[in-house]
Structure 1
């Protein structure tokens, strides 16, 4: 030790003293603390290129990263790489450390897995590809044990996979797979989606963040052998029960006795938009009108805090979070009902949609539901004239004068 040089013990005290300028900042990661201690106790390990051997985890989130180059190979001992919410469209596996066990690419713009599967890390256990731009069947072939023999967890949520049978046939080769996330894909709209996956992948423990228990296994037993039940279509039931809170229209009519004012009748209906498809059931004659829905948020909104946007206002906006595409929709109208404190619509319609990608776009963009009031007015003078017209005079029936107004 040179004269005036602090001992390792004294330096460690400075690191651990929260009043010291060398103390770790609040929220310091364990890895940061470990590097500080290594610089004190074994400084030779953090000199030059030796420091790269100390890294086991690297997290770069929301930094607009577009490419992973060969510089990452210096981190030979890296086991966890988190690159969420960037702008990566392609990632070359030759640039990934071979010791990698966790690769998270959520919220990027990955549309092709070919480069990633050229020389994938052989020990990878988790692959996160949620909120990207993947679609089958071209990408299905890259999700097999030939590329990922040790994969335990796979996240493919919120992409555009539509071929349930084709995807399952590839995933079945992943013998170590225990956790699978597919929610947010168009194929997840198929009615038999969960049951077919549970029975087709008997070693799976968690599907879409829900544990698979013995009762569920028994419930769906044998479904995997009935592939004829797997149809690429979704069925959605829309029901409208009761409407409450509509003001009494009679209180709005302040008519003077003997005044010339119309007699108004009121009726109420519900209109809503739905993606174009085949309507199987309709309890009531609903008028249908074709429209083209623009990709805008609906006026009837839900709590936006419940939406998994994975972004905070003023921070990063991942490339994969695209605006929903425009979709073709129809407007449906329930039968009109007279006013009451509780208006009972008793409406039910089952929609069958074969365009799963279009249905997903429709669901993500939101819809508009409206309560419509229809007023029909008849002027009292018209009613008097009508009554006079119906009173026979010399065997002649006079035609009805006046008109009906609706607004």
Structure 2
């Protein structure tokens, strides 16, 4: 990809203004398509003459008009080119500019040609491909330098000969955040700096960063949102209490009430570990179909069928060591499927401001490799409203991994677990599942009494059969935008009941073979297989088969009827723990011990 210099991008914008062509410049200002004033010459003749200034400036909708939002001085320069074109010299064009906004123009090099703009005070270079900014190429008159959403990875060259009167420095959404970057944020480099934007970078050590920023004597506005350090329990309290001259933090006014609430947190630097505390809550769930609604009154007594429901969610795995080593066998969000159907198989867990933020999220989400685990609530029996009242607090030391996880979001899944239970074998070992089914059918016409406690203890449970009722993706990136809590009602769509709930009939291959052998023996014992009795048995067998087929057809017919059930919803929340006083922080420190 070819490099594009900053001055070449500016020259293209200036050339589009047509400062040396009609209606600007020193050439003829008459065209037949323009309205001309009739003028009486000394010899009595009349003819077309040049337009006046107002007529020329009314040509805004014409082809020569170019958009000038990239600099307020562009439109003024155009007026000057129309009114006083003789005074418009080449060097004057550069000195006329005080503001330049070169946004999303593919600029990759800030070259020395920028020095020609010797009156430049504001330079905005957001959403470009700049990797380095040599300070010797910046005009000394600069007061505002905005470099949001570039690819800057070091401040060394920027601070070699920085503009001495710079008031605002915007470094948001760049590849910054290493400990060595802090040495360039000093009063020696930025004696007049009043506003600093470090948002969406990789700063994760709040104590060290605040210690460096406290040496900027005129700093009044600071933006840190999107950095891993904002997830810690002491943010923003520690920063506000430490920077006493700060008036704005993350674009919000620091009030006297804030000062009072956070008083004393600056003294806890040595006693509180920089970690995040996140509480996940699953309150209740509605919209689960009642499995008993398909149970037939003539269904056999056994097997007994129980249903349990749980909610599982993905969360950042707790690393076994402080180095946060990633196990090669651990599931990572990089390979978690984004399709809910695929997710069912996972067993572990000109740019507007909106455009710039979207680019920011994409940049911050590169090389994502945060290990996740699958966490389940306890199983609950069916109810119209299943109250989970589940809460779990996660304490995370790896703030970089947590930031990546929040940018990616999590998957929330509702699982159903079905268990079939059979009576245990008697002492003689004669009662099996098949006999229990037969016995259940024989007693199906009688009133069904609950089994006594002794019989319940003798039940044998089959391995649980699990299925996923639905999955939904939950966005979490707003927790990086100075929002402490996300509370959502997840809609997983309308659920459908299984067809097999009505009359379960489960037999293994051995039981089927034994049943066939019994039938053969029965035919051998009765040579008149076509007798009335034999015909009766065959007829009853066919009747049973026909009945089953009709039941199956009916079930399919019921399935084709549009469902009027309510959608499956789960009330879910994620909250960042924040300390607002030194007493709270001390309590947290004591509980962590």
Smaller-chain TM-score bracket: 0.7 to 0.9
3-state DSSP of counterpart to 2:296: coil
**Higher strand proportion (structure 1 or 2):** 1
Q: Kindly name which structure, 1 or 2, has the bigger radius of gyration based on alpha carbons.
A: 2
Aligned with residue 361 of structure 1, among 389, 394, 404: 404
3-state DSSP of counterpart to 1:217: helix
1:393 corresponding residue in structure 2: none
Q: 2: CA distance between counterparts of 1:228 and 1:73?
A: 47
3-state DSSP of counterpart to 1:148: coil
Distance 1:60 1:322, change over 3 A: farther
**Higher helix proportion (structure 1 or 2):** 2
Q: Work out whether residues 107 and 321 of structure 1, in 8 Å CA contact, stay in contact via their aligned partners in 2.
A: no
Distance 1:172 1:11, change over 3 A: same
Distance 1:158 1:317, change over 3 A: closer
How many Å apart are 1:290 and its aligned residue? Answer: 5.3
Q: Work out whether residues 157 and 181 of structure 1, in 8 Å CA contact, stay in contact via their aligned partners in 2.
A: yes
**TM-score normalized by the length of structure 2:** 0.58
2:317 corresponding residue in structure 1: 276
Aligned with residue 211 of structure 1, among 228, 253, 259: 253
Distance 1:317 1:189, change over 3 A: closer
Q: 1: CA distance between counterparts of 2:362 and 2:291?
A: 50
Q: Work out whether residues 233 and 274 of structure 2, in 8 Å CA contact, stay in contact via their aligned partners in 1.
A: no
Q: Work out whether residues 268 and 337 of structure 1, in 8 Å CA contact, stay in contact via their aligned partners in 2.
A: yes
2:462 pairs with 1:404:
yes
Residue deviations 1:110-153, cap 9 Å, x none? 11000111111111111111111101311011111111111111
Distance 1:295 1:232, change over 3 A: farther
Q: Name which of structure 1's ranges 321-330 and 156-165 shifts more when overlaid on structure 2.
A: 321-330
3-state DSSP of counterpart to 1:363: helix
3-state DSSP of counterpart to 1:61: coil
Query: Structure 1 regions of 5+ residues with no counterpart?
Result: 280-288, 301-306, 391-395
2:176 pairs with 1:145:
no
Query: Structure 2 regions of 5+ residues with no counterpart?
Result: 1-25, 31-48, 321-328, 341-352, 434-460, 466-593
3-state DSSP of counterpart to 1:243: strand
Aligned with residue 129 of structure 2, among 67, 83, 87: 87
Aligned with residue 228 of structure 1, among 264, 270, 288: 270
Q: Work out whether residues 182 and 212 of structure 2, in 8 Å CA contact, stay in contact via their aligned partners in 1.
A: yes
1:375 corresponding residue in structure 2: 418
How many Å apart are 1:228 and its aligned residue? Answer: 2.3
Residue deviations 1:260-288, cap 9 Å, x none? 97432111111111112289xxxxxxxxx
Residue deviations 1:228-248, cap 9 Å, x none? 244221111111111112222
3-state DSSP of counterpart to 2:219: coil
Q: How does 1:5-404 map onto structure 2 within 5 Å?
A: 10-16=52-58, 18=60, 30-251=72-293, 253-255=294-296, 257-258=298-299, 262-277=303-318, 291-294=331-334, 310=356, 320-323=363-366, 325-378=368-421, 382-383=422-423, 386=424, 389=425, 396=427, 398=429, 401-402=432-433, 404=462
Q: 1: CA distance between counterparts of 2:71 and 2:133?
A: 27
Q: Name which of structure 1's ranges 16-25 and 102-111 shifts more when overlaid on structure 2.
A: 16-25
Q: Name which of structure 1's ranges 43-52 and 18-27 shifts more when overlaid on structure 2.
A: 18-27
Distance 1:26 1:144, change over 3 A: closer
**TM-score normalized by the length of structure 1:** 0.83
Q: Work out whether residues 12 and 40 of structure 1, in 8 Å CA contact, stay in contact via their aligned partners in 2.
A: no
Residue deviations 1:324-353, cap 9 Å, x none? 511112211111001111111111111111
Q: Work out whether residues 29 and 50 of structure 2, in 8 Å CA contact, stay in contact via their aligned partners in 1.
A: no
Q: 2: CA distance between counterparts of 1:355 and 1:229?
A: 18
Q: Work out whether residues 126 and 146 of structure 2, in 8 Å CA contact, stay in contact via their aligned partners in 1.
A: yes
3-state DSSP of counterpart to 2:279: strand
How many Å apart are 1:10 and its aligned residue? Answer: 0.8
Q: Work out whether residues 70 and 102 of structure 2, in 8 Å CA contact, stay in contact via their aligned partners in 1.
A: no
Q: 2: CA distance between counterparts of 1:19 and 1:195?
A: 53
Residue deviations 1:181-223, cap 9 Å, x none? 1111111111112111111111111111221100111111222
Q: Work out whether residues 160 and 357 of structure 1, in 8 Å CA contact, stay in contact via their aligned partners in 2.
A: yes
Aligned residues: 375
Q: 2: CA distance between counterparts of 1:258 and 1:171?
A: 74
How many Å apart are 1:375 and its aligned residue? Answer: 1.1
